[in-house]
Amino acid sequence: MAGFWGARKREREQLDARDTELGRRADAALVAADERIRVTTDELMFAELELGRDATRDLREALDAVRHHLGEAFQLNQLNHDEIPDTAEELRTRNGRIVQLCEWAESLLDDRTAALAEPIARARRAPEIIAGIRADVARLRERLPHVQDTIDRLSGRYSAEALRRIVQSPKEAGQLLDFAAHSADVSTRRREAGQREQANLALETAIEAVRRATVLIDTVDTFEIEALRAESTLDAVVDDSREDLVTARDLVHVPAVATAMVGLEKALAALPSERTASDPFADLTRLREANAALDTAVTTARERAARPIPPESHVRHAIDDADRQLGVARSVIAGHRGWIGADARTRLAEAERVRLELPAGAIAEDDREQALVDARRCGMLAAEALQLAQRDIDSGRPQDPGGWGQGGGRGRGGGNDLVGGILGGLVIGSILDGIFD
């Protein structure tokens, strides 16, 4: 007993120590949260000066929410230190709630202030950023004549359809650069007038316009490399396609393969000559699709050859056999409704559901294998339903101590003979009805 009470004492001491530590954490968290609110309020004031009230709305709303919820934390702390004695459980609950509220407040304010860090830094560096924007605009404008020369040179090699995505790039880039320069001027004027929020909006607009103009110009420079890569890939796909046509000749008797071969031959014939302006991207896409269609058809044909498709007559035979077994099971279960349990009825319902999914008309080659599997499963479920029904009928018969004797057909092995008779046809249902009626 001394060991038991000693263990209980140690547990109480450990719990008291944890409660004391939790109380210290709650007091420290309240002090830190209160200081964080004060510091964040000062940060909000400076952020509004830099960015405007609209840009700092999220931080302002977060501060209001934190002040509201920390009011609850201060009330709980006051209850901990009033003259009314509290139980250890009450103190533990309050301190845990105080810590939770303070941690939530710290996390929320961290998230909102972090979101404003980059815009504030950008606003403080606005003069430097605007100078960089103007330099980028001047540098990109110098590239515009070269970009136009590149498009003119490529127009002799590639079709208008291929150049459609870059032909307007010099014009669009020039418009974006003009807009970026104008936005930079607007940002400077608004900042000098003290309209920080409008100045920052114009600055963001100028930065985005320069970025989009850079993308348009770089796209023209990379188009030629991409087109050359597409032409090289097209040559490799042409060689591969011709080899595939030769390989597929031994399967030309398969309709799907023959159709795919014709499609690939047409795609090869439609390729333009070397002297004709072309669209290598579209040509490569069409040829790849035709080549992939032939590969799929050949793969399917070889899989079918390796795994022969069952004749439709075999599938029909399996379906007919399943129908016969279903008919027997239905007859026995319907004739002895009060005797049949849930297991037999469930098997019969599963068999009928599978039967409904079997095809009624002509069975396509691709569906025969699955139809054969489903038909056999349907028959198996019907046979199980019949066996379970026979078990229920046998267990529900009145037990005659003298036995039924040979005249009643209840001799040794009578149950198994009865199952065999049921599986043989529907006649046994009427025999059973006569026995039990």
pLDDT tens for 178-190 read: 999 999 999 888 8
Give 321 or 127, the one with higher predicted confidence. Answer: 321
| Whether the predicted pLDDT of 424 surpasses 50 | no
Give the C-alpha separation, 210 to 173, whole Å: 9
- Above pLDDT 70, what percent of the chain? 85
Angle of helix 255-269 relative to helix 196-247, nearest 10 degrees, comes to: 120
Mean pLDDT, the chain, whole residue set = 81
* Mean pLDDT for the stretch of residues 353-381: 87
Give the C-alpha separation, 250 to 49, whole Å: 80
In Å, what is the CA distance from 198 to each residue of 49, 51, 53, 56? 12, 9, 11, 14
DSSP bridge pairs for 158: 278
Nearest residue to 150 (alpha-carbon basis) of 43, 224, 229: 224
What the block records as the tokens of 379 is 């028959």
Q: Chain-centre distance of CA 117, in angstroms?
A: 34
Nearest residue to 333 (alpha-carbon basis) of 355, 349, 311, 309: 349
Whether the predicted model's global pTM rises above the 0.75 cut: no
**So what's the pLDDT on residue 16?**
62
In Å, what is the CA distance from 120 to each residue of 104, 181, 193? 24, 22, 18
| pLDDT digits 0-9 by tens, 204-222 | 899 999 999 999 999 988 9
**So what's the pLDDT on residue 350?**
93
| Whether the predicted pLDDT of 333 surpasses 60 | yes
Q: Chain-centre distance of CA 133, in angstroms?
A: 41
Phi (first) and psi of residue 278, to 5 degrees:
-135, 175
User: At CB < 8 A and 24+ separation, what contacts does 303-309 make?
Assistant: 304/365, 307/369, 309/365, 309/368, 309/369
Give the C-alpha separation, 38 to 72, whole Å: 18
**So what's the pLDDT on residue 426?**
40
CB 116 within 8 A of CB 187: no
